[in-house]
Amino acid sequence: MVTTVKNRRYEDEDSGLGVRHFQVFLLFFALTVAYALRVNLSVAVVAMTDAASSNPDFPEYQWSEKIKSLLLSSFFWGYVITQVPAGQLARKFGGKIMILTGLTICSVLTVLTPLCAKWGDWKLVCALRVVEGLCQGVVFPSTHTILSKWAPPKERATLGTCAYSGNQFGTILMLATSGVIAASPIGWPSIFYISGGIGCVWSVVYFFFGAGSPEESKSISAEEKKLIEMSHASEVSNAPEVPKDQLPTPWLAFLTSPAFLVLIVAHSVHNWGFWTLLTEIPSYMKNILGKDIKSNALLSSLPYICMFAMSFVFSAISQQLNNRNCVSTVTSRKLFNSIGLWIPMVTLIGLAYVDPEQSELAVVLLCFTVGMNGATYLGYNMNHIDLSPNFAGILMGITNCVANIMSIIAPLIVGFIVTDEHDPTQWRIVFFIASGFYLVGNTLYVIFGKANIQPWNDPPIKPRRNSTPQVESQH
């Protein structure tokens, strides 16, 4: 009883901004860099294959549409391979070492991209992108591993949202600036030099100031460290008898846990719909609605801007709900996941029936749909840590691996269905499929999803952790 009272005192104590917030700030920029390095080729390839459209003073490559598609997809070949091993490595060596190594190598390779294009044409660039994907495969599992150490349970969703919103911010920066850079006197190679250079700067900063856990931090105060330790201890019935990094990984328990299986489903259907939207909607709007949003940097980045902004709106709403103890953690996760998947399910269908003369309405619906997806940061995205703080990185690696396979399959299915890009009925089939995935996936998550620590989070010799869902007072 005494321990419980002490834990609550530390959990409820308002410590203001601390080192944990600075670490999340560094993770935000890590994910900003990661996504900038991921999408830079998708915008640079236009200038690389059509120098006259930007700056004719720089090299131009005669790459066919097939080669360009190959280059743009090659990143994901490597990306899915390292997802699961990355979670295990992050547990063994620490999240800081893994994310720092991965992004540093990726940043250096990005700087070398123009040179690789000059020396080895598209084949060497393709190989380089595969290696970049292998390096970035460590980012999400490592981020989850670090968040599981730094974020008190009641701040988990808020801090997680702040970190992962870097995904959208990095994409926005590249879409908004790459066209300007390519047309400037420094030309398209500078897209890679600047994004890679910023990644290298981040690596130096993180090397000196980043920490994988409160124990590794030299600047954390005793009070903040105690607050984090006590908040994590509130999830445990008894003190651990085995160091966490020595716990055996319960692979079979993962794959036979309904709560984790529906988490895989939720992550996968989100990726299916999200990447269907962002990779195929430009084609739909150009061929059906007569609006070329790819040619406009603002229109291209607008959906990402909406998602970036709405993720913070949802975070604030969630925080207020939980400050008033209105909802438990599991209810909060399911509520915001439903907002992030079921509302887009409806608006996707509406998007399919917009008339060509209502192209502005289509842009609004697209932005609203993607913006609502931002609620999933407070849903499935943080659920891995809820289920198992000890194995959060590995769980993220598994779900992100499966989800990104779905991201690769989705555009291929669209290509199979849409044989005539000017036929609206074929596009409606695509939207109905995505909506169906949203419906089924989130329904399963609502029915079977959980937010309490699972028994397999503990080694066999330890008593089980509490199964009572925690109530988040901060989000």
Chain segment 337-346, per-residue pLDDT in tens: 999 999 999 9
Q: Is residue 474 part of a domain?
A: no
User: CA 473, CA 320: separation in Å to the nearest integer?
Assistant: 8
- pLDDT class of 276 with cuts at 50, 70, 90: confident
Alpha-carbon 251 to chain mean position: 23
Question: What pLDDT does residue 244 have?
Answer: 65
Q: Is residue 473 part of a domain?
A: no
DSSP symbol at 153: G
The percentage of the chain sitting over the pLDDT mark of 70, rounded to a whole number, equals 89
Q: Which of 168, 202, 221 is the last residue of a domain?
A: 221
Residue 309 to residue 168: CA distance in whole angstroms? 9
Residue 472 lies in a domain: no
Query: Given a cut of 70, is residue 39 above it in pLDDT?
Result: yes
Give the residue from 89, 86, 102 showing the smallest Cα distance to 37.
102
Domain CATH code at residue 109? 1.20.1250.20
**Whether 261 and 178 share a structural domain:** no
pLDDT the model gives residue 238 = 52
Range of the domain at 426: 249-457
Domain count, the chain: 2
Judge whether 69 and 45 are in contact, CB under 8 Å. no
The confidence score (pLDDT) of residue 186 equals: 92
162 and 300 share a domain?
no
Same-domain check for residues 152 and 253: no
179 and 261 in a single domain? The answer is no
Q: Is 468 a residue whose pLDDT tops 50?
A: no
- 465 located within any domain: no
pLDDT surpassing 80 at residue 23: yes
Q: What is the pLDDT of residues 296-317, one digit of tens each?
A: 667 778 889 999 999 999 999 9
- Whether 132 and 267 map to the same domain: the answer is no
Phi, psi of 28 (to 5 degrees): -55, -45
Kindly list the distances between the CA atom of residue 53 and the CA atoms of 184, 190, 393, in Å, as whole numbers in the listed order.
12, 16, 43
Burial track 381-392 (b if 16+ CB lie within 10 A, e otherwise)? bbbbbbbbbbbb
Q: Does residue 106 share a domain with residue 189?
A: yes
Integer CA distances (angstroms), 286 to 63, 294, 356, 421, 423, in order = 22, 9, 10, 9, 12
227 inside domain = no
Cα→Cα distances 52→12, 56, 182, 188, 296, Å? 61, 5, 11, 12, 17
Alpha carbons 353 and 424: distance in angstroms, whole number: 8
**Contact status, residue 96 vs residue 211, Cβ threshold 8 Å:** yes
pTM, 2 dp: 0.88
Same domain, 414 and 320: yes
What are 212-229's pLDDT values in tens digits? Answer: 999 999 999 999 999 999
pLDDT category, 359, cuts 50, 70, 90? Answer: confident
**Do 211 and 321 have their domain in common?**
no
Q: Is residue 466 part of a domain?
A: no
CA distance 326 to 318: 10
437 to 204, 259, 381, 392, 418: CA distances (angstroms): 42, 18, 17, 25, 18
Distance (Å, whole) CA 473 – CA 13: 11
Nearest alpha-carbon partner for 188 in 46, 38, 300 = 46
Provide mean pLDDT across the span 287-297.
71
Q: Are residues 259 and 195 in the same domain?
A: no
Residue 68 has pLDDT above 50, yes or no: yes
More confident residue, 39 or 108: 108
Kindly state whether residues 127 and 194 are assigned to the same domain.
yes
Does the pLDDT of residue 335 top 90, yes or no? yes
Domain boundary among 221, 241, 272: 221
Query: Tell me, what's the pLDDT at 295?
Result: 67
